[in-house]
Amino acid sequence: MSSLSSVVQGLDGITSRLADLADNPDIPYERLVISLSAVTTIWELYVSSRQMKCYSIPLPPPELQHHLKKETYDKAQAYGKDKLTFNVRQTMFNFVLGVVVIKTRLLPHAWDWTASFMDLVGLDQSRVITHSLLWITATSLVSVIPNLFWTYHFTFVIEEKHGFNKTTKKLWITDQIKTFAIAIVLGLPFLAGFLKVIEMAGKNFVPWLMLFMISVQLILQIIYPIFIQPLFNKLTPLPEGDVRQRVEKLANKLQFPLKHLYVIDGSKRSSHSNAYFYGLPWSKQIVLYDTLLDQNTPPEVEAVLAHELGHWKFWHPARLLLIAQSNLLWTLGLFAVFIHNKSLFASFGFDPRLAVGSPVGGPQPILIGFTLYQLLFEPLDTFVKFFINSKTRKYEYQADQFAMGLGHAKDLGAALIKLHIENLSSPHSDKLFSKYHHSHPTLPERLRAMNEYKGGDWLSKNQSSKVEEIKAKEKKEL
Ligand SMILES: [Zn+2]
C-alpha cells in the first residue's frame, strides 16, 4: 500500500512541476494553436493532393484489371474525385472557421452572453456546471450549423449524383432532429457527470474520471442497440434459409456465442453494404445489411462473416478498446497538468481568474479549461490516427487469413471485389493517403496479401501462375 501511495505522490509531484512550467504568460498559446492547426491542415491537403493524382490514372491496377469494366472503373474514379474534392473544401473551411472563432474571441464572449442569459432567466451564476452546459451548447452551434450544410450537400449532391443516396429529404431531416435530441438527452447529462466527477474528486481526479468514462461506455454498449439504434433502423431476424443455416453452422463451429442474427434495413438510406457483430462476451448479435444479402451469394455472405468472426477470434475489438482506454488515460492525465493554467485562459481572452474559479466565487469552470486543452492537443490526433489505422489494417489482414484458413478464400475474394465495385471504392490509392485515412487496407492491397498467403486457392486461372511462383519460392526457402 505504501509503495502505491508513493507512486501517487511521485506522479503528483511531476504533475504540479509540469503545471508550473506550462503556466507561463510568455507562452503564446493562442498563436501556438493556430500554427499547429495550420500545419495539420497543410499536411492533410498535401496527403489529399497525392491521392488526387490517382484519379487521373487511365487504367485499373493489375489486381483489378480482370474484374473492373471500363465503365465501372471510370465511375469509381469520378466518385472518388468528387468525394476528395468535397473533403478538401471541408478541411479548408474548418481551418478558417477555427481561426475566426479564436480571433473574434467568440469563446469568452459566449461565456459572458450565457452568464447574462442566466441572469435573465433567474439562474444563479454560481451554478458553474449549468453555465458550462449552456456555454458549450451555444458555442457548438458554430460548428453544428455549417456541418448540417456539408452533410446535406454530401448526401443530396455527391451521393445522389453517383447513385448511392436512397434517403428522402424528409427522412434526412428527421434523422438530424433525432441526432440533435440524442446529443441533448445523453450528451448533456454525460458532460455534467464528467464535470461533477472532476469537481468532487479534486486534485487526483484522473482515476475517478477513468472509472466514470468506462462505466459510461459500458452503459452505452447496453442501451445503444435497445434504445438508440431502433430510432434510425429496423432490425429483423434473418429468415430461415441457406444464409441463416450457413451463419449458424459457422458460429457453432467457432463456438461464437451467437444469440441473435439480424438483417438491418441499410438500403433505406444508402446502397453501401456491410456486416458487423456486437454484444457482451457471452451473448453476441450479428447484423447483416440487406444490401449485402442482395448483392452476394450465400457462400459469399458466409465468407464475409468468417472474416468478421476472425476479428472476434483474434480479440480485435478488445484490443482496440484497450488502445482507446490508454489513449483516454494519458489524455486525462495530461489535462491534470493544464486544468488550472491561467496563461492558457488569458491567451484565449478569458479572465485568468476563471482558471482557479475566483471571479464569482463558485467552483472553477472546468469545461473551459478542457476545451482549450483539447484545442492545444488536437494536432496530436494525427499521430494517434496513424497508429490506430496501422493496427486495424493489420487486423484486417489477419481476419482475411482466418477466413481463408476456413476454406472461404475464393468466396471472400469474390465478395470483396463485389463490395468494392458496388461501393465504387477507389481503384488506386496513394500509399501515404491510405495509411493516414484508411482503417482498412485497399482492395488491391488485400488481394495482393491473399495472394501471398500460402493457403490461397482463390485465384482465378489467369493468375494461378503466381501461385506456382510463390509455391516454388516457398520450396526453395524450406
Ligand atoms: Zn474486417
Burial zone of 439 (CB within 10 Å; 0-12 exposed, 13-18 middle, 19+ buried): middle
Angle at 467 between CA 466 and CA 473, to 5 degrees: 90
| The three grid cell numbers given for residue 237, joined into one nine-digit string | 431476424
At 260-281, the pLDDT tens digits run 999 998 777 766 668 888 888 8
Distance 318 CA to ligand 1 centre (A): 14
Domains and CATH numbers, the chain: 235-317+387-477 (3.30.2010.10)
In this predicted structure, the answer to whether residue 25 has a pLDDT above a threshold of 70 is yes
Q: Confirm or deny that 468 is annotated as ligand binding.
A: no
Nearest to 392 by CA among 305, 324, 461, 328: 324
Residue 302, marked binder: no
Catalytic residue among 302, 308, 422, 445: 308
Q: Is 4 exposed, middle or buried (0-12, 13-18, 19+ CB in 10 A)?
A: exposed
Instruction: Please report, to the nearest 10 degrees, the dihedral formed by the alpha carbons of residues 100, 101, 103, 106 taken in order.
Output: 140
Q: What residues have a C-beta under 5 A from ligand 1, the ion? A: 396, 399
Pairing of strands 275-280, 258-264: unpaired
Q: How far is the CA of 435 from the centre of ligand 1 (A)?
A: 16
Alpha carbon distance 131, 191 (integer Å):
12
pLDDT in tens, 357-399: 765 556 788 999 999 999 999 888 888 988 999 999 999 999 9
User: Which DSSP string corresponds to 363-398?
Assistant: ---HHHHHHHHHHHHGGGHHHHHHHHHHHHHHHHHH
Q: Is 396 annotated as a binding residue?
A: yes
Query: What's the gap in Å between 24 CA and the centre of ligand 1?
Result: 47
Beta bridge partners, 277, equal: 286
- Rounded Cα distance between 70 and 54, Å, is 16
Q: How far is the CA of 242 from the centre of ligand 1 (A)?
A: 23
Whether 400 sits among the annotated catalytic residues: the reply is yes
Cell 490506430 belongs to: 388
Surface-to-core class of residue 253, CB atoms within 10 Å of its CB (0-12 exposed, 13-18 middle, 19+ buried): exposed
Per-residue pLDDT of 220-242, as tens digits, reads: 888 888 888 888 888 899 999 99
Whether the pLDDT of residue 202 is over 90: the answer is no
- Give the mean pLDDT of 296-301: 94
Check if 242 is active-site.
Answer: no
> How many angstroms is it from 311 CA to the middle of ligand 1?
7
**Per-residue pLDDT tens digits for 70-122:** 888 999 899 999 999 999 999 999 999 999 999 999 999 999 999 999 999 99
Q: Count of CB atoms within 10 A of residue 134's CB? A: 21
Residues 6+ apart with CB under 8 A from 232: 175, 178
Neighbour tally for 375: CB within 10 Å: 22
- Structural Rg of the chain based on CA atoms: 26
Tell me, what's the pLDDT at 29? Answer: 95
**Catalytic entry in 44, 63, 302, 400:** 400
Predicted local distance difference test score (pLDDT) of residue 459: 44
pLDDT (0 to 100) of residue 254: 93
